[in-house]
Amino acid sequence: MELTQQHFIALLPLLVVSATVVVVMLAIAWRRNHGLSYTLSTGGLVLALFSIVPAMQADVQQVTMLLRTDGFAYFYMTLMLLATLVCVTLAHAYLGERPGGSGFPGNREELYLLMLLSAAGGMVLVSAQHLASLFIGLELLSVPVYGLVAYAFFNRRSLEAGIKYMVLSAAGSAFLLFGMALLYAESGSLAFTEIGSSLAAQGSSILVQTGIGMMLIGLGFKLSLVPFHLWTPDVYEGAPAPVSAFLATASKVAVFAVLLRLYQLSPATSGGWLNDALSLIAIASILAGNLLALNQSNLKRLLGYSSIAHFGYLLVALIASNGLAVEAVGVYLVTYVLTSLGAFGVITLMSSPFQGRDADALYQYRGLFWRRPYLTAVLTLMMLSLAGIPLTAGFIGKFYVVASGVESQLWWLLGTLIAGSAIGLYYYLRVMVTLFLVEPGIRRHDAPFDWGQRAGGIMLVAVAALTLLLGIYPQPLLELVQQVGLAAL
Protein backbone atom coordinates (compact mmCIF):
# COMPACT_ATOMS: atom_id res chain seq x y z
CA MET A 1 0.00 0.00 0.00
CA GLU A 2 1.37 3.41 -0.98
CA LEU A 3 1.31 6.02 1.78
CA THR A 4 0.30 9.52 0.66
CA GLN A 5 0.28 12.90 2.40
CA GLN A 6 -3.35 12.31 3.41
CA HIS A 7 -2.37 9.11 5.22
CA PHE A 8 0.24 10.97 7.27
CA ILE A 9 -2.28 13.69 8.10
CA ALA A 10 -4.69 10.99 9.26
CA LEU A 11 -1.97 9.65 11.57
CA LEU A 12 -0.99 13.14 12.79
CA PRO A 13 -2.17 12.75 16.45
CA LEU A 14 -0.17 9.54 16.88
CA LEU A 15 2.86 11.04 15.11
CA VAL A 16 2.76 14.15 17.32
CA VAL A 17 2.65 12.10 20.54
CA SER A 18 5.49 9.88 19.26
CA ALA A 19 7.56 12.96 18.37
CA THR A 20 6.86 14.39 21.84
CA VAL A 21 8.24 11.18 23.39
CA VAL A 22 11.48 11.61 21.41
CA VAL A 23 11.75 15.32 22.26
CA VAL A 24 11.20 14.73 26.00
CA MET A 25 13.74 11.89 25.95
CA LEU A 26 16.37 14.12 24.26
CA ALA A 27 15.61 16.95 26.69
CA ILE A 28 16.20 14.62 29.65
CA ALA A 29 19.46 13.42 28.09
CA TRP A 30 20.58 17.02 27.53
CA ARG A 31 19.68 18.40 30.96
CA ARG A 32 17.36 17.24 33.73
CA ASN A 33 14.73 19.88 34.35
CA HIS A 34 11.40 18.98 35.86
CA GLY A 35 9.60 22.08 34.63
CA LEU A 36 10.95 21.71 31.09
CA SER A 37 9.90 18.05 30.84
CA TYR A 38 6.42 18.92 32.08
CA THR A 39 6.09 21.85 29.65
CA LEU A 40 7.21 19.76 26.67
CA SER A 41 4.84 16.93 27.63
CA THR A 42 1.78 19.15 28.03
CA GLY A 43 2.68 21.08 24.88
CA GLY A 44 2.91 17.88 22.87
CA LEU A 45 -0.41 16.59 24.21
CA VAL A 46 -2.19 19.87 23.46
CA LEU A 47 -0.69 19.90 19.94
CA ALA A 48 -1.86 16.31 19.43
CA LEU A 49 -5.38 17.31 20.50
CA PHE A 50 -5.44 20.17 17.98
CA SER A 51 -4.07 17.89 15.25
CA ILE A 52 -7.18 15.70 15.48
CA VAL A 53 -9.15 18.36 13.55
CA PRO A 54 -7.07 18.20 10.31
CA ALA A 55 -6.75 14.43 10.77
CA MET A 56 -10.55 14.04 10.70
CA GLN A 57 -10.79 16.37 7.70
CA ALA A 58 -8.34 14.14 5.79
CA ASP A 59 -11.17 11.55 5.77
CA VAL A 60 -8.89 8.51 5.39
CA GLN A 61 -10.76 5.58 6.88
CA GLN A 62 -7.93 3.05 6.61
CA VAL A 63 -4.26 3.97 6.75
CA THR A 64 -2.91 0.43 6.55
CA MET A 65 -4.44 -2.98 7.08
CA LEU A 66 -3.51 -2.56 10.76
CA LEU A 67 -5.03 0.82 11.61
CA ARG A 68 -8.48 2.30 11.01
CA THR A 69 -8.65 6.08 11.49
CA ASP A 70 -12.36 6.82 11.61
CA GLY A 71 -14.63 8.85 13.89
CA PHE A 72 -14.61 6.05 16.45
CA ALA A 73 -10.79 6.09 16.71
CA TYR A 74 -10.54 9.89 16.89
CA PHE A 75 -13.23 10.12 19.57
CA TYR A 76 -11.36 7.75 21.88
CA MET A 77 -8.00 9.30 20.97
CA THR A 78 -9.40 12.64 22.14
CA LEU A 79 -10.66 11.13 25.37
CA MET A 80 -7.31 9.41 26.02
CA LEU A 81 -5.28 12.54 25.27
CA LEU A 82 -7.44 14.65 27.59
CA ALA A 83 -7.13 12.07 30.38
CA THR A 84 -3.36 11.90 29.89
CA LEU A 85 -3.10 15.70 29.93
CA VAL A 86 -4.94 15.86 33.26
CA CYS A 87 -2.78 13.05 34.73
CA VAL A 88 0.45 14.74 33.60
CA THR A 89 -0.69 18.03 35.21
CA LEU A 90 -1.58 16.23 38.44
CA ALA A 91 1.78 14.43 38.37
CA HIS A 92 3.57 17.79 38.14
CA ALA A 93 1.78 18.96 41.29
CA TYR A 94 2.46 15.61 43.00
CA LEU A 95 6.20 15.58 42.21
CA GLY A 96 6.72 19.28 42.97
CA GLU A 97 9.27 20.87 45.23
CA ARG A 98 9.29 20.46 49.00
CA PRO A 99 9.28 23.63 51.13
CA GLY A 100 12.96 22.98 51.79
CA GLY A 101 13.74 23.12 48.08
CA SER A 102 14.60 19.50 47.30
CA GLY A 103 12.27 17.58 45.03
CA PHE A 104 11.17 14.00 44.52
CA PRO A 105 13.86 11.61 45.85
CA GLY A 106 14.60 10.15 42.45
CA ASN A 107 14.35 11.10 38.78
CA ARG A 108 11.05 12.86 38.17
CA GLU A 109 11.29 13.53 34.45
CA GLU A 110 10.90 9.93 33.27
CA LEU A 111 7.36 9.75 34.67
CA TYR A 112 6.14 12.06 31.87
CA LEU A 113 8.05 9.99 29.33
CA LEU A 114 6.38 6.76 30.49
CA MET A 115 2.90 8.35 30.45
CA LEU A 116 3.42 9.61 26.91
CA LEU A 117 4.63 6.19 25.74
CA SER A 118 1.61 4.53 27.30
CA ALA A 119 -0.72 7.09 25.71
CA ALA A 120 0.83 6.36 22.28
CA GLY A 121 0.11 2.66 22.84
CA GLY A 122 -3.49 3.48 23.72
CA MET A 123 -3.86 5.50 20.51
CA VAL A 124 -2.65 2.53 18.47
CA LEU A 125 -5.05 0.31 20.38
CA VAL A 126 -8.19 2.39 19.70
CA SER A 127 -7.29 2.46 15.98
CA ALA A 128 -6.63 -1.28 15.75
CA GLN A 129 -8.59 -3.38 13.27
CA HIS A 130 -6.08 -6.24 13.23
CA LEU A 131 -4.94 -8.62 15.95
CA ALA A 132 -1.29 -7.65 15.36
CA SER A 133 -1.96 -3.93 15.98
CA LEU A 134 -4.16 -4.90 18.95
CA PHE A 135 -1.27 -6.76 20.58
CA ILE A 136 1.34 -4.11 19.71
CA GLY A 137 -0.86 -1.33 21.06
CA LEU A 138 -1.76 -3.26 24.20
CA GLU A 139 1.88 -4.00 25.05
CA LEU A 140 2.98 -0.43 24.33
CA LEU A 141 0.18 0.70 26.62
CA SER A 142 0.96 -1.81 29.40
CA VAL A 143 4.76 -2.02 29.63
CA PRO A 144 5.34 1.65 30.61
CA VAL A 145 2.64 1.27 33.29
CA TYR A 146 4.83 -1.32 35.07
CA GLY A 147 7.39 1.41 35.65
CA LEU A 148 4.75 4.00 36.48
CA VAL A 149 3.14 1.85 39.20
CA ALA A 150 6.52 1.18 40.84
CA TYR A 151 7.78 4.74 40.30
CA ALA A 152 7.90 5.56 44.00
CA PHE A 153 10.41 2.69 44.41
CA PHE A 154 11.45 3.89 47.88
CA ASN A 155 7.92 3.04 49.03
CA ARG A 156 7.48 -0.70 49.66
CA ARG A 157 3.80 -0.65 48.63
CA SER A 158 4.57 0.97 45.29
CA LEU A 159 7.32 -1.52 44.48
CA GLU A 160 5.10 -4.44 45.49
CA ALA A 161 2.25 -3.13 43.35
CA GLY A 162 4.57 -2.77 40.33
CA ILE A 163 5.81 -6.36 40.62
CA LYS A 164 2.25 -7.71 41.05
CA TYR A 165 0.98 -5.81 38.04
CA MET A 166 3.92 -6.84 35.87
CA VAL A 167 3.62 -10.57 36.65
CA LEU A 168 -0.17 -10.75 36.31
CA SER A 169 -0.23 -8.52 33.23
CA ALA A 170 2.33 -10.77 31.56
CA ALA A 171 0.08 -13.76 32.29
CA GLY A 172 -2.91 -11.90 30.81
CA SER A 173 -0.91 -11.04 27.66
CA ALA A 174 0.10 -14.69 27.29
CA PHE A 175 -3.56 -15.77 27.34
CA LEU A 176 -4.39 -13.07 24.81
CA LEU A 177 -1.58 -14.08 22.45
CA PHE A 178 -2.45 -17.77 22.62
CA GLY A 179 -6.11 -16.97 21.90
CA MET A 180 -5.06 -14.94 18.84
CA ALA A 181 -2.98 -17.86 17.60
CA LEU A 182 -5.97 -20.22 17.86
CA LEU A 183 -8.22 -17.77 15.96
CA TYR A 184 -5.58 -17.41 13.25
CA ALA A 185 -5.22 -21.19 12.98
CA GLU A 186 -8.96 -21.52 12.34
CA SER A 187 -9.69 -18.44 10.20
CA GLY A 188 -6.37 -17.91 8.40
CA SER A 189 -6.45 -14.15 9.03
CA LEU A 190 -5.67 -11.62 11.75
CA ALA A 191 -7.98 -8.83 10.54
CA PHE A 192 -11.13 -8.31 12.63
CA THR A 193 -13.52 -8.22 9.66
CA GLU A 194 -11.96 -11.23 7.92
CA ILE A 195 -11.99 -13.26 11.12
CA GLY A 196 -15.68 -12.40 11.52
CA SER A 197 -16.64 -13.35 7.97
CA SER A 198 -14.51 -16.51 8.00
CA LEU A 199 -15.96 -17.75 11.27
CA ALA A 200 -19.49 -16.87 10.15
CA ALA A 201 -19.02 -19.08 7.07
CA GLN A 202 -17.31 -21.99 8.86
CA GLY A 203 -19.26 -21.96 12.10
CA SER A 204 -17.91 -21.89 15.62
CA SER A 205 -15.61 -24.81 16.40
CA ILE A 206 -14.05 -25.82 19.72
CA LEU A 207 -10.80 -24.18 18.59
CA VAL A 208 -12.57 -20.87 17.93
CA GLN A 209 -14.43 -20.95 21.23
CA THR A 210 -11.20 -21.68 23.10
CA GLY A 211 -9.40 -18.85 21.28
CA ILE A 212 -12.14 -16.31 21.98
CA GLY A 213 -12.31 -17.48 25.61
CA MET A 214 -8.55 -16.99 26.06
CA MET A 215 -8.69 -13.54 24.48
CA LEU A 216 -11.55 -12.69 26.84
CA ILE A 217 -9.36 -13.70 29.80
CA GLY A 218 -6.53 -11.43 28.59
CA LEU A 219 -8.78 -8.41 28.00
CA GLY A 220 -10.76 -9.15 31.18
CA PHE A 221 -7.54 -8.84 33.18
CA LYS A 222 -6.71 -5.46 31.63
CA LEU A 223 -10.22 -4.23 32.47
CA SER A 224 -10.12 -5.85 35.96
CA LEU A 225 -13.38 -7.73 35.45
CA VAL A 226 -14.34 -10.50 37.89
CA PRO A 227 -12.75 -13.06 38.28
CA PHE A 228 -9.60 -11.36 36.88
CA HIS A 229 -9.82 -8.40 39.26
CA LEU A 230 -7.68 -9.41 42.25
CA TRP A 231 -4.76 -7.15 41.31
CA THR A 232 -6.85 -3.97 41.15
CA PRO A 233 -7.14 -2.75 44.79
CA ASP A 234 -3.49 -3.55 45.62
CA VAL A 235 -2.16 -1.80 42.50
CA TYR A 236 -4.42 1.23 42.91
CA GLU A 237 -3.34 1.55 46.55
CA GLY A 238 0.38 1.07 45.91
CA ALA A 239 0.76 3.22 42.79
CA PRO A 240 1.39 6.98 43.10
CA ALA A 241 -1.94 8.84 42.99
CA PRO A 242 -1.57 10.36 39.46
CA VAL A 243 -0.56 6.93 38.14
CA SER A 244 -3.66 5.36 39.71
CA ALA A 245 -5.69 8.06 37.90
CA PHE A 246 -4.01 7.17 34.58
CA LEU A 247 -4.51 3.44 35.12
CA ALA A 248 -8.20 3.89 35.98
CA THR A 249 -8.97 6.14 33.00
CA ALA A 250 -6.76 6.29 29.88
CA SER A 251 -5.53 2.71 30.17
CA LYS A 252 -8.97 1.14 30.58
CA VAL A 253 -10.66 3.36 27.98
CA ALA A 254 -8.27 2.15 25.28
CA VAL A 255 -8.83 -1.53 26.11
CA PHE A 256 -12.62 -1.23 26.25
CA ALA A 257 -12.66 0.70 22.95
CA VAL A 258 -10.79 -2.05 21.11
CA LEU A 259 -13.02 -4.69 22.72
CA LEU A 260 -16.06 -2.79 21.44
CA ARG A 261 -14.60 -2.54 17.91
CA LEU A 262 -13.75 -6.24 17.88
CA TYR A 263 -17.27 -7.05 19.05
CA GLN A 264 -18.81 -4.83 16.34
CA LEU A 265 -16.57 -5.79 13.39
CA SER A 266 -16.60 -9.54 14.07
CA PRO A 267 -20.25 -10.51 14.55
CA ALA A 268 -19.24 -14.15 14.87
CA THR A 269 -17.51 -13.31 18.17
CA SER A 270 -20.83 -12.16 19.62
CA GLY A 271 -22.36 -15.61 19.64
CA GLY A 272 -24.84 -16.88 22.18
CA TRP A 273 -22.31 -18.59 24.44
CA LEU A 274 -20.10 -15.49 24.55
CA ASN A 275 -23.06 -13.31 25.48
CA ASP A 276 -23.87 -15.72 28.29
CA ALA A 277 -20.25 -15.65 29.50
CA LEU A 278 -20.12 -11.84 29.37
CA SER A 279 -23.45 -11.65 31.20
CA LEU A 280 -22.09 -13.79 34.04
CA ILE A 281 -18.92 -11.68 34.17
CA ALA A 282 -21.00 -8.46 34.21
CA ILE A 283 -23.24 -9.70 37.05
CA ALA A 284 -20.24 -10.93 39.07
CA SER A 285 -18.32 -7.67 38.48
CA ILE A 286 -21.25 -5.46 39.52
CA LEU A 287 -22.02 -7.42 42.67
CA ALA A 288 -18.44 -8.20 43.74
CA GLY A 289 -17.15 -4.68 43.02
CA ASN A 290 -19.89 -2.99 45.03
CA LEU A 291 -19.97 -5.50 47.91
CA LEU A 292 -16.19 -5.51 48.36
CA ALA A 293 -16.15 -1.69 48.41
CA LEU A 294 -18.60 -1.55 51.35
CA ASN A 295 -16.07 -2.06 54.15
CA GLN A 296 -13.09 -0.28 52.61
CA SER A 297 -11.40 2.33 54.77
CA ASN A 298 -8.90 3.22 52.03
CA LEU A 299 -10.17 5.63 49.38
CA LYS A 300 -7.94 4.27 46.60
CA ARG A 301 -9.06 0.69 47.24
CA LEU A 302 -12.66 1.85 47.38
CA LEU A 303 -12.28 3.51 43.97
CA GLY A 304 -10.56 0.37 42.67
CA TYR A 305 -13.48 -1.85 43.61
CA SER A 306 -15.86 0.82 42.31
CA SER A 307 -14.13 0.71 38.90
CA ILE A 308 -14.73 -3.07 38.75
CA ALA A 309 -18.46 -2.41 39.19
CA HIS A 310 -18.49 0.41 36.62
CA PHE A 311 -16.96 -1.75 33.91
CA GLY A 312 -19.54 -4.36 34.81
CA TYR A 313 -22.18 -1.70 34.02
CA LEU A 314 -20.41 -1.02 30.70
CA LEU A 315 -20.62 -4.70 29.77
CA VAL A 316 -24.42 -4.35 29.81
CA ALA A 317 -24.17 -1.90 26.88
CA LEU A 318 -21.59 -4.11 25.14
CA ILE A 319 -23.87 -7.15 25.38
CA ALA A 320 -26.82 -5.10 24.06
CA SER A 321 -24.65 -4.42 20.97
CA ASN A 322 -27.32 -2.64 18.89
CA GLY A 323 -29.34 0.54 18.75
CA LEU A 324 -28.19 2.81 21.56
CA ALA A 325 -25.47 0.44 22.78
CA VAL A 326 -22.39 1.91 21.06
CA GLU A 327 -23.53 5.45 21.83
CA ALA A 328 -24.14 4.46 25.45
CA VAL A 329 -20.58 3.14 25.78
CA GLY A 330 -19.16 6.42 24.45
CA VAL A 331 -21.24 8.59 26.78
CA TYR A 332 -20.56 6.38 29.81
CA LEU A 333 -16.79 6.29 29.25
CA VAL A 334 -16.64 10.10 29.00
CA THR A 335 -18.56 10.53 32.26
CA TYR A 336 -16.57 7.77 34.01
CA VAL A 337 -13.22 9.27 32.95
CA LEU A 338 -14.18 12.75 34.16
CA THR A 339 -15.43 11.46 37.50
CA SER A 340 -12.44 9.20 38.15
CA LEU A 341 -9.97 11.95 37.25
CA GLY A 342 -11.71 14.27 39.72
CA ALA A 343 -11.70 11.72 42.55
CA PHE A 344 -8.06 10.70 42.07
CA GLY A 345 -7.15 14.36 41.52
CA VAL A 346 -8.30 15.21 45.04
CA ILE A 347 -6.19 12.35 46.44
CA THR A 348 -3.21 13.62 44.40
CA LEU A 349 -3.44 17.18 45.71
CA MET A 350 -3.83 15.86 49.26
CA SER A 351 -0.76 13.62 48.90
CA SER A 352 2.99 14.00 48.70
CA PRO A 353 5.66 11.36 47.99
CA PHE A 354 7.56 12.71 51.00
CA GLN A 355 4.89 11.50 53.44
CA GLY A 356 5.80 7.84 52.95
CA ARG A 357 2.43 6.99 51.41
CA ASP A 358 -0.40 8.84 49.75
CA ALA A 359 -3.26 10.42 51.69
CA ASP A 360 -5.65 7.59 50.81
CA ALA A 361 -6.90 6.51 54.25
CA LEU A 362 -10.50 7.59 54.80
CA TYR A 363 -9.77 9.01 58.28
CA GLN A 364 -7.43 11.57 56.66
CA TYR A 365 -10.49 13.08 54.97
CA ARG A 366 -12.46 13.41 58.19
CA GLY A 367 -13.62 17.01 58.47
CA LEU A 368 -11.85 17.99 55.23
CA PHE A 369 -14.55 20.60 54.57
CA TRP A 370 -13.22 22.68 57.46
CA ARG A 371 -9.67 22.61 56.11
CA ARG A 372 -9.90 22.45 52.29
CA PRO A 373 -13.42 23.49 51.22
CA TYR A 374 -12.74 23.49 47.47
CA LEU A 375 -11.30 19.97 47.53
CA THR A 376 -14.29 18.84 49.56
CA ALA A 377 -16.68 20.34 47.00
CA VAL A 378 -14.90 18.53 44.14
CA LEU A 379 -14.78 15.15 45.91
CA THR A 380 -18.45 15.43 46.95
CA LEU A 381 -19.43 16.10 43.34
CA MET A 382 -17.36 13.14 42.14
CA MET A 383 -18.99 10.78 44.67
CA LEU A 384 -22.45 11.96 43.58
CA SER A 385 -21.49 11.40 39.94
CA LEU A 386 -20.15 7.91 40.61
CA ALA A 387 -23.41 7.10 42.38
CA GLY A 388 -25.35 8.29 39.31
CA ILE A 389 -27.24 11.10 41.06
CA PRO A 390 -29.21 13.43 38.68
CA LEU A 391 -27.58 16.73 37.61
CA THR A 392 -24.16 15.04 37.45
CA ALA A 393 -22.43 13.51 34.42
CA GLY A 394 -22.59 10.04 35.99
CA PHE A 395 -26.40 10.08 35.82
CA ILE A 396 -26.35 10.68 32.05
CA GLY A 397 -23.92 7.80 31.48
CA LYS A 398 -25.90 5.38 33.62
CA PHE A 399 -29.17 6.48 32.03
CA TYR A 400 -27.85 5.59 28.56
CA VAL A 401 -26.61 2.19 29.71
CA VAL A 402 -30.01 1.43 31.24
CA ALA A 403 -31.74 2.62 28.05
CA SER A 404 -29.60 0.31 25.89
CA GLY A 405 -30.37 -2.60 28.25
CA VAL A 406 -34.10 -1.90 28.11
CA GLU A 407 -33.93 -1.69 24.30
CA SER A 408 -32.36 -5.18 24.20
CA GLN A 409 -34.57 -6.51 27.03
CA LEU A 410 -31.65 -7.56 29.24
CA TRP A 411 -33.82 -7.68 32.36
CA TRP A 412 -31.53 -9.77 34.59
CA LEU A 413 -28.57 -7.52 33.86
CA LEU A 414 -30.64 -4.40 34.48
CA GLY A 415 -31.87 -5.81 37.79
CA THR A 416 -28.28 -6.44 38.83
CA LEU A 417 -27.28 -2.94 37.71
CA ILE A 418 -30.02 -1.36 39.85
CA ALA A 419 -29.13 -3.51 42.86
CA GLY A 420 -25.42 -2.67 42.44
CA SER A 421 -26.18 1.04 42.16
CA ALA A 422 -28.20 0.88 45.39
CA ILE A 423 -25.30 -0.81 47.20
CA GLY A 424 -22.84 1.71 45.76
CA LEU A 425 -24.91 4.60 47.05
CA TYR A 426 -24.09 3.54 50.63
CA TYR A 427 -20.30 3.70 50.40
CA TYR A 428 -20.29 6.85 48.25
CA LEU A 429 -22.46 8.56 50.87
CA ARG A 430 -20.15 7.29 53.61
CA VAL A 431 -17.24 9.11 51.98
CA MET A 432 -19.30 12.30 51.65
CA VAL A 433 -20.44 12.20 55.28
CA THR A 434 -16.82 11.75 56.43
CA LEU A 435 -15.82 14.96 54.64
CA PHE A 436 -18.23 17.07 56.71
CA LEU A 437 -17.77 15.54 60.16
CA VAL A 438 -16.91 17.97 62.94
CA GLU A 439 -14.33 16.92 65.51
CA PRO A 440 -13.99 18.51 68.98
CA GLY A 441 -11.84 21.61 68.89
CA ILE A 442 -11.75 21.86 65.09
CA ARG A 443 -11.59 25.38 63.68
CA ARG A 444 -12.78 26.35 60.24
CA HIS A 445 -9.92 27.55 58.05
CA ASP A 446 -8.57 26.88 54.60
CA ALA A 447 -5.12 25.33 54.52
CA PRO A 448 -2.43 27.54 52.92
CA PHE A 449 -2.58 27.15 49.16
CA ASP A 450 0.56 25.68 47.62
CA TRP A 451 1.25 27.67 44.48
CA GLY A 452 3.34 24.76 43.20
CA GLN A 453 0.02 22.91 42.89
CA ARG A 454 -1.74 25.74 41.08
CA ALA A 455 -1.96 24.04 37.68
CA GLY A 456 -3.22 20.81 39.28
CA GLY A 457 -5.86 22.73 41.24
CA ILE A 458 -7.05 24.62 38.15
CA MET A 459 -7.25 21.38 36.17
CA LEU A 460 -9.21 19.72 38.99
CA VAL A 461 -11.72 22.57 39.15
CA ALA A 462 -12.12 22.42 35.35
CA VAL A 463 -12.85 18.67 35.53
CA ALA A 464 -15.42 19.25 38.28
CA ALA A 465 -17.09 22.07 36.32
CA LEU A 466 -17.30 19.86 33.21
CA THR A 467 -18.80 17.02 35.27
CA LEU A 468 -21.50 19.35 36.54
CA LEU A 469 -22.07 20.97 33.13
CA LEU A 470 -22.56 17.63 31.35
CA GLY A 471 -24.99 16.58 34.06
CA ILE A 472 -27.09 19.73 33.58
CA TYR A 473 -26.70 20.16 29.81
CA PRO A 474 -25.47 16.93 28.14
CA GLN A 475 -26.71 17.76 24.62
CA PRO A 476 -23.29 18.79 23.15
CA LEU A 477 -21.76 15.47 24.27
CA LEU A 478 -24.69 13.48 22.85
CA GLU A 479 -24.45 15.30 19.52
CA LEU A 480 -20.69 14.76 19.39
CA VAL A 481 -21.09 11.04 20.01
CA GLN A 482 -23.57 10.81 17.15
CA GLN A 483 -21.57 13.00 14.74
CA VAL A 484 -18.34 11.02 14.98
CA GLY A 485 -20.16 7.91 13.88
CA LEU A 486 -20.12 5.93 17.12
CA ALA A 487 -23.70 4.84 16.54
CA ALA A 488 -22.94 3.47 13.08
CA LEU A 489 -19.67 1.57 13.10
DSSP per residue, 203-240: ---HHHHHHHHHHHHHHHHHTT-TTS-TTHHHHHHHS-
pLDDT of residue 258: 87
pLDDT band at 266 (very low <50, low <70, confident <90, very high): low
**Stronger pLDDT, 330 or 196, i.e. the higher one:** 330
Please give the average per-residue pLDDT across 409-424, as a whole number.
89
Mean pLDDT on 275-303: 90
Average pLDDT over residues 219-234: 88
- Whether residue 317 has pLDDT greater than 70: yes
pLDDT of 268 higher than 60: no
> Is 212 a residue whose pLDDT tops 90?
no
Instruction: Give the model's pLDDT for residue 407.
Output: 84
| Complete DSSP assignment for 349-374 | HH--GGGSS-S-BGGGGTTGGGT-HH
Q: According to the model, what pLDDT value does residue 354 have?
A: 66
Q: What are phi and psi of 229, to 5 degrees?
A: -105, -5
Residue 109's pLDDT is 84
pLDDT at residue 458 is higher than 90: no
The answer to whether residue 448 scores a pLDDT higher than 70 is no
Query: pTM here?
Result: 0.91
190: DSSP letter:
-
Question: What pLDDT band is residue 119 in, cutting at 50, 70 and 90?
Answer: very high
Q: How much of the chain, in percent, has pLDDT values that exceed 90? A: 29
Mention every residue, 6+ apart, whose C-beta is less than 8 A from residue 411.
Answer: none
Cα radius of gyration rounded to whole Å, the chain = 22
User: What's the pLDDT score for residue 444?
Assistant: 55
The residue-averaged pLDDT of 33-43 equals 89
- Indicate the pLDDT class of residue 406, thresholds 50, 70 and 90: confident
Mean pLDDT of the region 110-127: 92
Q: What is the mean pLDDT of residues 150-163?
A: 84
pLDDT, greater one: 286 or 484:
286
Q: If pLDDT is split at 50, 70 and 90, which confidence band does 9 have?
A: confident
CB 230, CB 322: distance < 8 Å: no
- 97-106 confidence digits (pLDDT tens): 554 444 455 6
Break the chain into its structural domains and give their ranges.
Answer: 5-488
Give one DSSP letter per residue of 58-102, joined into a string.
Answer: H--SBSSSSBB-SHHHHHHHHHHHHHHHHHHHHHHHHT---TTS-
Three-class DSSP category at 32: coil
At 275 the pLDDT is 80
Task: Assign 384 a pLDDT band (cuts: 50, 70, 90).
Answer: very high
pLDDT, residue 449, reads: 47
What is d(CA 372, CA 155) in angstroms, rounded to the nearest whole number?
27
Q: Which of 127-131, 265-269, 292-296 has the lowest mean pLDDT?
A: 265-269
| Interval 56-97: pLDDT, tens | 887 777 778 888 888 888 899 999 999 999 999 998 888 875
How far is Cα of residue 317 from the mean position of the Cα atoms in its chain? 17
487/461: higher pLDDT: 461
Question: Looking at this protein, which amino acid is placed at residue 300?
Answer: K
pLDDT at 46 over 70: yes
What percent of the chain has pLDDT above 70? Answer: 90
Which segment of 152-166, 172-186, 343-357, 417-431 scores lowest on mean pLDDT? 343-357
